[in-house]
Structure formats: structure tokens, C-alpha cells
Amino acid sequence: MKENTANTDKPVSIGVFDSGIGGLTVVKTLRAAIKEANIVYLGDTARVPYGTKSEETIKRFAREDTVFLIEKGVDLIVVACNTASSVALSYLKREFKDIPIFGVVEPGVNMALNASKTGKIGIIGTIATIKSHAHRKLLNKQGVLKVYEKACPLFVPLAEEGLTKGQIPRLVAEYYLHDLKEKVDTLILGCTHYPILMDTIKEVLGEQIKLIDPAYALALQVKSFLNNNGMIKNTGENGTLDLYLTDIPPHYHSLLSIFLGFTPDTIEKVDLKDISRC
């Protein structure tokens, strides 16, 4: 694996990875907040979801994703995947000390703390994210004791299939979320796939619920870091987006439109099978 070295003459390059296409919700927010940044996105669509995998496997996948992005010459890495952020972020920071790595858990928790009026906060995520209790531990450190966690594993395949509205996602949402009704005033969407199900989640829980998409807080955190380190170049031009997927679904055009808001001109399929040897 080659060492990452930032070129100060070029716009900052941000690497983003997720278990699938869901992390493009984070990319969309980053592009809005840091227009001049070049973004390299890796979606591990061949192995989605990460949330049903073991801790050992999640760490291995996250390491392979990180190595791939470093090989692309990025200046920092955003772990858009909540599962990888919950289970593997500390491991990645130990393994790759020479590059800044940001996760989505802490920004989401801080945003929820600012939004909640009652201190009753819920988290929904994949099985692995909820099992890690990463959000709950941070909330407990801040004195929040009434924390409600719920794994919603079927939300990911629904999102990946583009089934975001209608009877099927509503029935699934009611099945998962009925226990949270009247118990929380703020709910952290602990998976990048969940924001596109926001309307359905609101239908089930009620309009009064505050839904927290950690991508917004994460984008502000990354922008602040870049500004503080003089890494943002005010070129007046929009940055580029390089999109890599480990598998290209037949209906990827419609999915990219849902998650990103447009379909990039170029998408490259990549194979990560040799990355683990680096």
C-alpha cells in the first residue's frame, strides 16, 4: 500500500465509503457543504449489507474499503456506513494513523442532543450497529439515560430496491417502530439508507418526531476540519465525483437518482479481493 500524500496545489480530495449506495446521501450533503472538494466514493454493493455480518468481517471489509480509497490518493476518509463507524472506526484509526478518518456516529449523537427537548432519544440502525450500542454509550456519557434502540434490518434492502413509499415500507416501518411511539421526541437515523425512508418513518411515528440525519452534522465537522487546516481551495469551481461500486445493480440509474439526486456520467466497477493483502 502506498503512502497517502496530499498535493497542496490540488483541491482537497475526500474519500467516502459505505456498504452500498446509501452513503450517497452523505456524498450529496458533503457536495452541498464543500462544493470545491473532489469526492471519491466506494459503495461495496457486492457485499451489502454490512449490518448482518460479524464484527471480524465488518472490520475486514472496512479495512479493504479504506485501503482502496487511500490508493486513490484521498486526503481524508469519511466512513459513511453507520455499521462500520460503530464497529470499526477505532480499529481503522489505529491501523491508518497518517490519514484523518471521520465517522457518522458522534456527529449524529451531538445533533440529537441539540434537538431533543425531553432527553428521550431513539436510534434505529442495522443489527450490528444496534448491537454495538455505540450511540447509546455516547448518549449515556452526556447524561442521557432514556435511550431506545431498535434494529431495522429490512430498511436497507427496501432502500436498495427503491421501495421507499407505499404499503410495503409502511408495514415494515410499523412492525419495527411501533414500540418507539410516544417514547421518544428525537430519532437518530443510524444508517445511510434510512433518510430516503424518512417520509414513511414520519407517517408511522408522527410529524412531531425530530428525525436526525447525521450526514448534515458530519459535513459541518469535515468542513470545519478542512478550514482549520487550510485544506479548502477556493477555486470557484465545483469538485469532481468519482464513483466506484463493487457490483452494479441492474436498476442502478434509478437508485442513484434517489440517493444522490442525479446520475453521474461515469461509474466504475471494482474488485476488492486483493486489497486485504496490502
Using alpha carbons, select from 69, 112, 105 the residue that is nearest to residue 90: 105
Cα separation, 103 vs 89, in Å, equals: 7
- pLDDT at position 6: 44
CB 61 within 8 A of CB 228: no
Distant-in-sequence, close-in-space partners of 152: CB < 8 Å, separation ≥ 6: 124, 125, 126, 172, 173, 176, 177, 191, 194
Cα torsion 189, 192, 198, 202 to 10°: value is -20
Q: Kindly report the pTM of this predicted structure.
A: 0.90
- The residues assigned a catalytic role are 81, 191
The residue ranges of every structural domain in the chain are: 13-103+216-277, 106-214
Using pLDDT thresholds of 50, 70 and 90, give the confidence band for residue 106. very high
pLDDT exceeds 70 at position 11 = yes
pLDDT exceeds 80 at position 201 = yes
User: What value does the mean pLDDT take over residues 129-148?
Assistant: 94
User: What value does the mean pLDDT take over residues 155-169?
Assistant: 91
- pLDDT at position 275: 65
**Alpha carbons within 13 A on the beta-carbon side of 260:** 22
- pLDDT at position 162: 85
Asked, colleague to colleague, whether 13-103+216-277 and 106-214 share their fold, the answer is yes
CATH 3.40.190.10 fits 13-103+216-277, yes or no: no
Cα separation, 99 vs 12, in Å, equals: 13
Using alpha carbons, select from 208, 192, 193, 212 the residue that is nearest to residue 123: 212
User: What value does the mean pLDDT take over residues 103-112?
Assistant: 96
CATH 2.60.40.3880 fits 106-214, yes or no: no
